[in-house]
Structure 1
Amino acid sequence: MAEKPILGITMGDPAGCGPEITVKALMKKEIYDECRPVVIGDAKMFEDSIRILGVGEKFKINKIENVKDAEFKYGIIDVYHLDLVDMDKFQYGKVSAMCGEAAFQCVKKVIELALAGEIDATITNALNKEAINLAGHHYSGHTEIYADMTGTDKYTMMLAHEDLRVVHVSTHVSLREACDRVKKQRVYDVIKIAYEACKSLGINEPKIGVAGLNPHCGEGGLFGREEIEEITPAIEMAKAEGINADGPVPPDTVFSKACGGWYDIVVAMYHDQGHIPLKVLGFVYDKEAKKWGAVSGVNITLGLPIIRSSVDHGTAFGHAGQGVQNEVSLVNAIQYGITLAKNRAK
């Protein structure tokens, strides 16, 4: 694209780490070298984060009511102000309907701005599922909100850490229901979405590893027949269209193979099957310092008419408002948003 893409970054739950790590991320000049960021949220929260971080001499908030009023200058954090938080009632680290409503309204606004073409990609900070449900919005997460508000039927979550990418046949459902959702058409749809995602990231000939559901991929039906009746037929459908899909591959080896370069992306059958390997790599706890040394990784919703990239961690209520949270995952999400926006514009 001729100009740097405009990225809308949501506040997340204000009682969590979102405002703090957003300020930390936008303290990096290289972000402004590659994109034009605008934050969607309550300006009061970002002013408080600047206070907590002690950077008020170098960074200022520009409160705006329209994207066209953003300055997009390093040292000035443009905040599309939504007056959502009553600071007299606010408390860091506390689940509340007020904060759930604030987080939800930020997501709603950033989707509206993207659908209207005012921004090129959306980047989301973590929200709290209990809080948004207390506020009366009955969703199990960002992915479902985006799908609903964009009218999208075929979508999936992609997690990424460095060269390991994972998409899911199902996410926020019980394990029992997740097994029931492993159906030929859904597996095929996710393989196809995974293929298109790799292409959008500039991978011209994607190699896709498809995980099995059962131990040892069912051992020829001894441990379950999903591989025989649902997963293999889906893979054959994809291959018939020229997609380089391999599997089903035993779940206990497919991710090691992907890390070794066998695959550009892995199709996981359910939430934890895909999340665990990503977080083992991306979440590093320093046991001597007794704190997280790194919390990296990106969550991307695929199949939408707009771009959505997100941090791959929660609200960190236990440490919110203390100035100690790691911004690496948000920086990674911003970088993915930039790449996706630029490739979509080609």
Structure 2
Amino acid sequence: MTDRQPPVLAVTLGDPAGIGPEITARTLADPASASIARGLAVGDAAVLRRAVGVCGLNVRVNAVGSPGEARFEPGTIDVLDLGIAPDDLEWGKVSPVAGRSAVAAIETATRIALDGEVDGIVTSPINKEAIWAAGSEHLGHTEMLGELTGAAHFDTMFVVRGLKIFFTTRHVALRKALDQLTEERVSASIRHAITALRVFGDDEPRLAVAAVNPHGGENGHFGDEEITVLRPAVERAVAEGLGAVGPIPADSVFHQGLEGRFDGVLSHFHDQGHIPAKTVDFDGTVSVTVGLPILRTSVDHGTAFDIAGTGQASHGTMAAAFGVAADFSRFTGRIRDAYGTGAAK
């Protein structure tokens, strides 16, 4: 890719029976998206044409066999056609065929990103049951991308109104998440978060570490994790020359971050980071996978099988993910330098 042209972003259709094709079609047909990046859909042309019809869009679908064949013309959506899923899949139903299409789209988008044919990928939601029915053993999108790129470690970073939010733990029960909070784990999470902040444009990053107990534990009266785990981890980071502060009570740290006092916040369990981000801007909260040698952003919602095929799905989250990817594409060099070149498997 050259600096003289807008970036090229591969946008996967996700599960063909879900809302992914619809929100992809709406996003790539939107002149606002076309003004910031060139979008190349990755999936089945038949599925995308069906989504265009459902959404009532006045655009044509141009099926291509490689990124180099894409035209990026107004009124046209280019799609790297996989030829797997037909246009008569039942909406909102788990299907092995849909699962195969979703997996193939991820694999293809990852390959062309590793090969430098696109500047990043934006992913639509997949259905875990469908990909398992298709034979995949991955727990989800991110794990699949980690294996495909050979990434040694990867994390989720939320971006909402300029603030970046990180997670020490995520998809585990709350009781288990608290048990997993050790000084070593929090220290590693601080280091990973600050590396990501640097990669994505904050040259002198300021990371706030959230507390887990009410009022930061009130010196141990409401819990001692701040004293025994979080504060020592922050002190270790400061001794290493890292710009970490905290622990700061969770009922105020996100507000302070949104005001610009910090570049990022390290939260410690799933909902601690999700709730403030999505309350502030549900559609504008974008998930970025950090640690991969390629740029990947994603919507942070599911396949919405209940409304798939109705044309009602809002593409706000996909448009936001596309916009963040367009912006962050300027950091592809930093991404490669920090996280390696990757190797398709």
Aligned with 2:35 (options 20, 33, 36): 33
Matched with 1:6 is 8
Structure 1 unpaired stretches of 5+: 284-294
Matched residues in 2 for 1:180 and 1:147: separation? 25
Residue matched to 2:271: 272
Equivalence for 2:289: 301
Distance 1:33 1:170, change over 3 A: same
Aligned pair partner of 2:307 in 319, 324, 332: 319
1:344 Cα offset (Å): 2.8
Aligned length: 332
Aligned to 1:217: 216
Could you tell me how far 1:42 is from its partner in structure 2? 0.7
**SS of match in other structure, 2:306:** helix
Distance 2:309 2:178 in 1: 40
Change (3 A) 1:196 1:339: farther
- What is aligned with 2:85? 85
Are the equivalent residues in 2 in contact too, given 1:164–1:278 (CA < 8 A)?
Answer: no
Task: Give the conservation status (yes or no) of the 8 Å contact 2:295–2:332.
Answer: no
How many Å separate the matches in 1 of 2:323 and 2:124?
A: 14
Tell me, yes or no, if the aligned pair for 1:5 and 1:36 is still in contact at 8 Å. Answer: yes
Checking the alignment, whether the CA contact within 8 Å between 2:119 and 2:332 is kept in structure 1 is no
Contact 1:159 1:312 in 2 (8 A): no
- Measured against aligned partners, the alpha-carbon deviations of 1:212-247 in whole angstroms (never above 9, x if no partner) come to 233333343444443333322221232223322111
- 1:168-219 deviation per Cα after TM superposition (whole angstroms, max 9, x unaligned): 1122223233223323333223222322333333333322111123333334
Cα distance in 1 between the residues matched to 2:222 and 2:201: 38
The aligned residue for residue 228 of structure 2 is: 229
Taking the TM superposition and a 5 Å limit, the aligned residue runs for 1:36-185 are 36-55=38-57, 58-88=58-88, 90-185=89-184
The amino acid across from 1:76 in the alignment is T
Code of the residue aligned with 1:10 in structure 2: it is T
- Greater shift in the superposed pair: 313-322 or 210-219: 210-219
Q: Note the C-alpha offset of 1:51.
A: 1.1
Taking the aligned partners of 2:184 and 2:112, their CA distance within structure 1 comes to 33
Contact 2:49 2:61 in 1 (8 A): yes
**How far 1:266 sits from its partner (Å)?**
0.7
TM-score computed with the length of structure 2 as normaliser? 0.89
Which residue of 2 is the match for residue 286 of structure 1?
none
- How far the C-alpha of 1:53 sits from its partner, in A, is 2.0
Secondary structure at the aligned position of 1:329 is classed as helix
Distance across 2 between alignment mates of 1:142 and 1:168: 17
Distance 2:223 2:137 in 1: 34
Partner of 2:17: 15
Question: Are the aligned partners of 1:296 and 1:329 in contact in 2 as well (CA < 8 Å)?
Answer: yes
Percent of aligned positions that are identical: 38
Deviates more, 1:129-138 or 1:313-322: 129-138
Deviations 1:312-344 (A, max 9, x none): 221121111111211111111111111221133
Q: Is the 8 A contact 1:4 1:35 kept in 2?
A: yes
Cα distance in 1 for partners of 2:35, 2:255 equals 35
Partner of 2:288, secondary structure, is: strand
SS where residue 220 of structure 1 aligns?
Answer: coil
Tell me how far apart the structure 2 counterparts of residues 228 and 133 of structure 1 sit (CA, whole Å). Answer: 43
Q: Residues 291-319 of structure 1: CA distance to partner in whole angstroms, max 9, x if unpaired?
A: xxxx3320101111111101122112111
